[in-house]
Structure 1
Amino acid sequence: MHVSEVFFREDPTPRASWRLAVLMGANSRTYKFALGEALLELAGTGRTDAPLTELARPYAMRLVRHLEEAPQAPAVQELRDTDFLAIARREAAESVRLGQPTEALIRAAVQSMPAMVMQKFTNVPGGTTLPHRFYELTGAPRERIVRFTPEMQRLAMSEHADVLRGELGARWAIVESSFSTGVGASLMREGVAVDLQTLALTDKRRRRAITGVKEATIGFQHGRCLICNDPLAAEDPYAIDHVFAFSYMERMGGLRGWQGPDLDAIWNLAPVHDACNSAKSNRLPTPDEQRRLAQRNEAIQQSPHPLKKTLQLTLSAWKYDSSRPANWFAFIGNVYRLLTN
């Protein structure tokens, strides 16, 4: 069974379908994220549909705003003059001055969105077909209407909407970083590190903050606390838990004598309720917590670089009993045995 199928089975809801599309789909450009934000915005008003020209406005403007900060496609991609991203670059300054996309940019968005991003929004690894749809296009080519499905409306107006927006923003920032010249190269080779002072993911070489640990990982946990498995709402006090407590490294001979993997790395860090973290203290994770951590890490490895690369590096760097763990379930079981033998 493909990891995406396992991910959905754990939470067979529209939220899981949305997360599969946003967090685990392939990203050769960032169009998917701009569309996701535009959908959440318009469907969140309670509307059941909108002209494609209206959806194109927040879609195009979000891309323009992000273009001010970072590349929206790999540097190696050559763009034709008629490419939507090339048009967005040309129209960016005027759009920012106006505070809205230019008419030329809106026309380009309306022309390109149906085939370029709307048909591909739900493409995920493994050829999985998402059980839920979020919109459909109807009407003549010049008067396209976007109809929001009931699932899209419920997502956009639910108490989970802010969490989903945070996850999408974090994913966008991570992909942008992998596209950035120089920064992207080191991310691809070395993955990301964790700054425990700021609880942010950073580029290992330049220590440049990318996004928060919580925002980058919570979606792969289905928005749930890894300890109690209850939802972790946007307003809930939270902590970033070392699932295997960092103190075990010191108990077992200090950092130089520790024979296991780095416990300060992202594979071992998980957002949890603050109260759950306090109650857990330094105990070893339960079998359910180990399973949830393994499933979370397996899901992250289905996302594009650099999070995928980060976990791959961890798996390949640590040997136990002269063998490399084939997956995260074996890896985490090996860590547990190392700490209990």
Structure 2
Amino acid sequence: MPFHTFMDDLGGTVSQFYDVEPSLDNYWRSIILFGNNVASYKFALACSLYELSNSSDDFISLEQLAGPFSRHICEHLKEAPKQTTSRSSKFLAACSDFNLGRVDQDYLCAQTVRLGFQNVIDAFHNVNRREVDKRFFIDERKTSNKGIRLTEDFYTLMASEAINSIKPETNARWRLVESAWQLGLARNLLRVEHDHHSKQLFTHRNDRRVNITSSRDSLNGYQKGRCFYCFDHISIQSGASDLADVDHFFPRAIREYVPNIDGIWNLVLACKSCNRGANGKSALLPHIDYLARLHARNEYFINSHLPIRETLIQQTGKTEALRKGFLQDNYNQARPQLLHIWEKPEPRGPMTF
């Protein structure tokens, strides 16, 4: 059956990410994955809110927020000096001075209150040029309080099982973005690759391999914490009984017929039952119905911008039509090499992408 017949209703828009399953964790994931990235402040704010979720008061002053916010920025600056697309930042300069011992904690916190939150609090809930339907905090900086107030939706999210995956997803996204800035994509498009044995994403810098982050942590958010094939819940926590497998949609056994088979475009997370259970996919080719799902997931990558977007465009095509054709062509090449097709398992959760 032609691939295009499965693609007629796919718009590839960011809003589909949370409209299909408008849960709190998917609204939050849309902020982390698709929100505008001109500086890493969004990630630092998210990580700070994770820490402050146990506060006895739902009101968080800017002074309270400044401590963890600046600490997260300072820690990342040690490994990745470029945390913004702008040429200079007085706030980042203060963080660098703190790392070098030139200023003390009090000075850093004062500069963070004055400079660190100028844009990030306003823009945090904006995705695809509009605000998401759920707010996780209310901006009260224009009141006498001078801070933010956490909402019930925020506390509900923090109490959910999904937060155990969302936290490492946030750090993985941060690592990917800062790696792109550090290499300078305008001059040298970042090629993000997957190591089949270590399950790490990596790139090359000055002819040297540089590990970026866990493949599981990077991929999980785009699949909303569910198995690619059956939509059962999966975990990315080491040692968990439902730890996800990193699966190659097109099996590695046919890598001579499929270009960039270890590319992110071909990686999905699957539950153990679907990937290597008694009736699992193993080294079989999935039913063609899954090709539309793979395309939809990859379009989420494209819409999340740096740096996975650039990697996928390099590997699969500059336009959506070319990317569809790339998948269909590879399926046509793979089909004669693999005699048996893996049929669809019974869904164990709602179809979310």
Instruction: Normalising by structure 2, report the TM-score.
Output: 0.81
Letter in 2 for 1:245: P
The 10-residue stretch of structure 1 (106-115 or 327-336) with the greater mean CA deviation from structure 2: 327-336
C-alpha separation between the residues in 1 aligned to 2:52 and 2:320?
Answer: 45
Cα 1:139–1:202 shift into 2, 3 Å = closer
Conserved 8 A contact 2:285-2:335: no
Letter in 2 for 1:286: H
C-alpha separation between the residues in 2 aligned to 1:293 and 1:44?
Answer: 38
Cα 1:69–1:329 shift into 2, 3 Å = same
Shift of 1:10: 2.6
- List aligned pairs for 1:58-69, cutoff 5 A: 58-69=68-79
- Counterpart in the other structure of 1:4: 14
More helix by share: 1
**1:94-142, CA deviations, whole angstroms, 9 ceiling, x for partnerless residues?**
499xxxx7122212222234432111112323x2331111101226556
Q: Does 1:326 align with 2:335?
A: no
Conserved 8 A contact 2:254-2:334: yes
Cα 1:158–1:44 shift into 2, 3 Å = farther
Q: Does 1:78 align with 2:87?
A: yes
Cα 1:68–1:190 shift into 2, 3 Å = closer
- List aligned pairs for 1:1-341, cutoff 5 A: 1=11, 3-44=13-54, 47-74=57-84, 77-79=86-88, 83-94=90-101, 102-125=105-128, 127-138=129-140, 143-180=145-182, 183-185=183-185, 188-204=188-204, 205-233=207-235, 234=237, 235=240, 236-249=242-255, 255=256, 258=257, 260-278=258-276, 279-316=280-317, 326=321, 328-340=323-335
- Percent identity over the alignment is 29
C-alpha separation between the residues in 2 aligned to 1:86 and 1:49?
Answer: 29
C-alpha separation between the residues in 1 aligned to 2:32 and 2:67?
Answer: 20
Shift of 1:69: 1.4
Conserved 8 A contact 2:34-2:127: yes
User: Where does the alignment leave 5 or more consecutive residues of structure 2 unmatched?
Assistant: 1-10, 337-353
The 10-residue stretch of structure 1 (167-176 or 14-23) with the greater mean CA deviation from structure 2: 14-23
**1:157-191, CA deviations, whole angstroms, 9 ceiling, x for partnerless residues?**
211112111110001111121122xx445994242
Cα 1:110–1:196 shift into 2, 3 Å = same
Letter in 2 for 1:173: R
Instruction: Normalising by structure 1, report the TM-score.
Output: 0.84
C-alpha separation between the residues in 2 aligned to 1:338 and 1:190?
Answer: 28
C-alpha separation between the residues in 1 aligned to 2:269 and 2:185?
Answer: 28
Secondary structure in structure 2 of the residue aligned to 1:115:
coil
Conserved 8 A contact 2:91-2:116: no
C-alpha separation between the residues in 2 aligned to 1:241 and 1:163?
Answer: 18
- Counterpart in the other structure of 1:252: none
Secondary structure in structure 2 of the residue aligned to 1:21:
helix
User: Where does the alignment leave 5 or more consecutive residues of structure 1 unmatched?
Assistant: 250-254, 318-323
Letter in 2 for 1:164: I
C-alpha separation between the residues in 2 aligned to 1:263 and 1:110?
Answer: 47
Conserved 8 A contact 1:187-1:203: no
- Counterpart in the other structure of 1:320: none
C-alpha separation between the residues in 2 aligned to 1:9 and 1:31?
Answer: 26
**1:211-240, CA deviations, whole angstroms, 9 ceiling, x for partnerless residues?**
111111110111111121122123322211
C-alpha separation between the residues in 2 aligned to 1:43 and 1:67?
Answer: 24
Letter in 1 for 2:231: N
C-alpha separation between the residues in 1 aligned to 2:154 and 2:101?
Answer: 32
Conserved 8 A contact 1:50-1:146: yes
Shift of 1:43: 1.9
